[in-house]
Structure 1
């Protein structure tokens, strides 16, 4: 049965009254995308008492949007994929752009942005039990969330209104055009890969960024490269080792870098992690400036990976879901020109033999 914008709005309002369901979960129940859920709320009068959610479609000047976020002051940046949510508090500065790739390289907000994947954006104003919540939300062509920016009590609300005035799209009728996500390209068979050449290029890496070129050159997926390279450079461990490593980093104050990405954004936390908890299957980091929410049941494999660089070996722990997509990546805190934290390396090198899994 085709749902009208009116029925979507009514169903959303009813489900929000019943409990604190998230937009993503409501959209899933309604069998629509999250972007379609918000787009159904365009064109309403925000000042009407009955309107609890008001969405304003924004123009497609994505880089200009991000360049203007500094005016909001401190906000919460949210990037997620199907298995992990990364929330970071801070200011969007400094911002730069090279072609279709944007960078935010602040001490708090640290992003790599791929604007080609951005399709539609909204300013969202919602009345909640805790007051009015204001945000900017961006989605890909399938209507899946790429990046969200939530105002905090200390944010500059006047700047939010100015951003809307500057970037509002003249077309505010409800609805949005989306398309299905393209299926992932199947990987080549292991027999087609020149493993000695892959190993030679791996050993010859000078920077962690060379890894992406290596994958492209040898036409291998990330997981396939890990399987083929050999245990000296990549080995799998039990999924529970992720929680243990984070707990040790919290206890011993080992600073880390936590990467969470989707096709449109990579978001990075750098620094200490403190408060770790588990609730209803979610592994959580709940710090004042950084929150992480990770679905443990969706972790299919965890790999410890060693990549050679001019600064020495860089060691990461990389989490994958059941379809082979990256959930999150963990590194020891480091800067270019410096070797990685020896405590971090020792922690991952010291994973017991019993924690390792056969790569076959």
Structure 2
């Protein structure tokens, strides 16, 4: 795809400043769409003032994030924001695939398209922000009141780009199309047989690729009792039940560049406009309920028995949010979670 250069940074800065004055509460991701630009380009308008362009191998930078101590990790997509506080621990890479496996910060990172990085200091809030070649946020790391600001300054200086004036070359994102509802001509019995023979839930992705099925198509052709559709408004009752029972859950949020996972109980649940929120001291989730086109309860076999998950899918067929009970590989899922799902969801 052809790479293009958008409007000049100075012109965009003027438009962005005016927009913020008129729309002080609009999130930068939404503002970028309003201004027909990208979030990365809006952040870059602050270079030379409160933003520093970074360069070098972001894997090396991420290996040093632990020096910041207690921070807040943020991963989001168009429909949900996942914020988890903690320390970056056990950071490792296999080529461009990275893992952070601490008890609090739990990430799967795909750095092949982490194109731009910035250090941002705004209203005494300091962060590292990473974006892909389309100018969309891949992952952000914010300092907290417990963080080591001196370590942050050291990393900014170490990874500061020599040329702060370089233009960002953004690759336009291909428009998504709403997926077709028809299912390819497949051997449904063979597909269901392979689903029932799964030993690891991660192998489900391989199964979809083998049969060339989208998520929705696969769920509609699941073995009996292994997938059923629920009403999107079920999520509020699921969150409330998890809060009341304090059953520890796992919350997965993904974009093409990062998966972020929270494991533990949730407590404070409330709705504000279209957003369903979890607002706990160390974990926040902001979910747009109106973005849920389909919600499913899905059961996948593993060596430790069935694993029950809730999957949220948007109108373009993208699964953007997943929920499970707390579990470790090789250990059966919590029966309290299985019961919670059965009793709190609203079946279609």
How would you bin the TM-score normalised by the shorter chain?
over 0.9
Structure 1 CA distance, aligned partners of 2:185 and 2:325?
A: 34
- Residue 277 (structure 1) aligned with residue 270 (structure 2): yes
Could you say which residue in structure 2 is the equivalent of 1:101? 97
Structure 2 CA distance, aligned partners of 1:184 and 1:165?
A: 39
TM-score (norm 1): 0.90
Structure 1 CA distance, aligned partners of 2:234 and 2:56?
A: 42
- Residue 89 (structure 1) aligned with residue 90 (structure 2): no
1:103-139, CA deviations, whole angstroms, 9 ceiling, x for partnerless residues? 000010000000112111111112x3xxx11111111
CA RMSD of aligned residues (A): 1.8
User: Within 5 Å, which residues of 2 pair with 1:311-326?
Assistant: 311-326=304-319
Could you say which residue in structure 2 is the equivalent of 1:169? 161
Note if contact 2:237-2:344 (Cα within 8 Å) is conserved in structure 1: no
Pair 41,174 (structure 1): closer, same or farther in 2 beyond 3 Å: farther
- Residue 206 (structure 1) aligned with residue 210 (structure 2): no
Could you say which residue in structure 1 is the equivalent of 2:58? 62
Could you say which residue in structure 1 is the equivalent of 2:3? none
Note if contact 2:325-2:333 (Cα within 8 Å) is conserved in structure 1: yes
Could you say which residue in structure 1 is the equivalent of 2:10? 6
Structure 2 CA distance, aligned partners of 1:159 and 1:344?
A: 41
Deviation at 1:231, TM superposition (A): 4.2
Pair 291,312 (structure 1): closer, same or farther in 2 beyond 3 Å: same
Instruction: Report how many aligned residue pairs link the two structures.
Output: 341
Could you say which residue in structure 1 is the equivalent of 2:128? 136
Return 5+ residue gaps in structure 1 as ranges: 47-53
Structure 1 CA distance, aligned partners of 2:297 and 2:113?
A: 29
- Residue 248 (structure 1) aligned with residue 252 (structure 2): no
Return 5+ residue gaps in structure 2 as ranges: 1-5
Could you say which residue in structure 2 is the equivalent of 1:36? 41
Could you say which residue in structure 2 is the equivalent of 1:341? 334
What SS does the corresponding residue of 2:64 show, helix, strand or coil?
helix
Could you say which residue in structure 1 is the equivalent of 2:251? 258
1:85-105, CA deviations, whole angstroms, 9 ceiling, x for partnerless residues? 000001110101112210000
Pair 351,17 (structure 1): closer, same or farther in 2 beyond 3 Å: closer
- Residue 16 (structure 1) aligned with residue 3 (structure 2): no
Note if contact 2:184-2:213 (Cα within 8 Å) is conserved in structure 1: no
Deviation at 1:63, TM superposition (A): 1.1
Structure 2 CA distance, aligned partners of 1:307 and 1:221?
A: 16
Structure 2 CA distance, aligned partners of 1:194 and 1:57?
A: 52
Structure 2 CA distance, aligned partners of 1:41 and 1:241?
A: 42
Note if contact 1:188-1:220 (Cα within 8 Å) is conserved in structure 2: no
User: Within 5 Å, which residues of 2 pair with 1:43-58?
Assistant: 44=48, 46=49, 54-58=50-54
What SS does the corresponding residue of 1:269 show, helix, strand or coil?
strand
Note if contact 1:5-1:174 (Cα within 8 Å) is conserved in structure 2: no
What SS does the corresponding residue of 2:208 show, helix, strand or coil?
helix
Note if contact 2:249-2:264 (Cα within 8 Å) is conserved in structure 1: yes
Pair 187,59 (structure 1): closer, same or farther in 2 beyond 3 Å: farther
Deviation at 1:3, TM superposition (A): 4.0
